[in-house]
Amino acid sequence: MNFELGENEKAIKKNASDLALLLIKAQRSRPDRKYQISDHRIFSKYDLAGAVIPKTSGGPGFSAMETALSLEGLAFAKCDPGFIFSLGAHLLACVMPLVKNISAELQKKLFPQIISGELLLANGMTEERSGSDPFNMKTTAKKTENGYLLHGQKHFITNSPIAGGFIIYALTDEEKGFFGGVSCFYIPAHSENLHVDRLDLDGAYANTNMGTVFLEDVFVPQENLIGKKGAGAMIFHQSMNWERACFALMHCGTMDMICTHAVENAKRKETKQGKLSELQAVQFHIADMHVHAEVARMLAYKALSEIDKGKDATVAAARAKILSSEALDVVARTAIRLDGAAGLHDSNENIYRALAGAQAATIYSGANDVLRELIAGRL
């Protein structure tokens, strides 16, 4: 098994790091630091807004590994975590379901807008009382002569305040429940009876646009059904494997950034016994940080490899997601402690955001304890 990246993969990471510098500059040039469509268009110039769209459909045709390496490169180069999360939610939870499941006609309509960066998407699965429990979904889709009427609410929906379209999951057969009873729909943001209330967050993802989506008998034409009726659970499951595996490698990029900071900081600071980096206690902590990051990377690589080989990556993606998010927490906390009093200063903003992001990372894309149950059920 070869763990070395090829020249193309190295170039993808470098491309993402260069892009991060442009996004940081664009963000700092304006008073509103939140993710904007103009930022999304910058991603499109670097082939990332529609990264997973196949070349046969006009897209870059990135594999799961290539997509994840882009997110990793952005994270290492200190791109705003909210920007990376916004892009990831768009690509992994929204564009992937479209790539795998929509008609050729809908592809021709949507893919050019996605590739150009004009169409940012939001995924609507989570509800107020059914975060990690999709079986408790309340949003319904009632069949009409030419389509469906969707009614319900979706909460904590990334990109929703500025999205041009939504991927919405709803019950089409309440008796069957989540497996066989949930379907997936594409809904343009301008649809009648659909509106969004903005939700402001603090911490790592403060610059992500989040909101609650209200669907009050929104009509969706038959042709906007994604996949087959009742296939929503499988479509969501596939997208979550991509999201968990790709975000796992993104977390590795953040850990690499933190480790680099810790090493440079230890070499710069001095004590009566010499440089901080010469103290064994400090060396051990930094070594452990690197071990956490590298183990997480190996699990992420395995999950991404299984996805790209067409295997069932459910367990591998869950393992990678659990380990990477919890390793990120340990690495960020250790870096702050090694900085001493300086670790509490505003100049350590990137480390603080990583620590806050680690708490969120144990929740989104499936709460870690729920994923532990999933893994245990496969043993």
Q: Of 221, 204, 242, whose CA–CA distance to 353 is shortest?
A: 204
Q: How far apart are CA 118 and CA 175, in angstroms?
A: 39
User: Treating both helix axes as pointing N-terminal to C-terminal, what angle do 314-338 and 349-361 enclose, rounded to 10 degrees?
Assistant: 150
Task: State the pairing for strand pair 225-226/182-188.
Answer: antiparallel
Looking at the chain, how many residues does it have?
Answer: 379
CB-based contacts of 293: which residues, under 8 Å, 6+ apart?
252, 255, 256, 259, 327, 331
Contact 313, 303 (CB under 8 A): yes
> Tokens 């480790």 map to which residue?
259
* Residue 237: CB atoms within 10 Å: 13
> Tokens 């992420």 map to which residue?
300
SS (H, E, C) 191-240: CCCEEEEEECCCHHHCCCCEEEEEEEEEEEEHHHEECCCCCHHHHHHHHH
Contact 88, 247 (CB under 8 A): yes
Q: How far is CA 335 from the centre of its chain?
A: 24
Residue of 243, 270, 326, 349 marked catalytic: 243
Q: Of 296, 190, 202, 216, whose CA–CA distance to 249 is shortest?
A: 296
7 catalytic residue (yes or no): no
Q: Which residues are catalytic?
A: 243
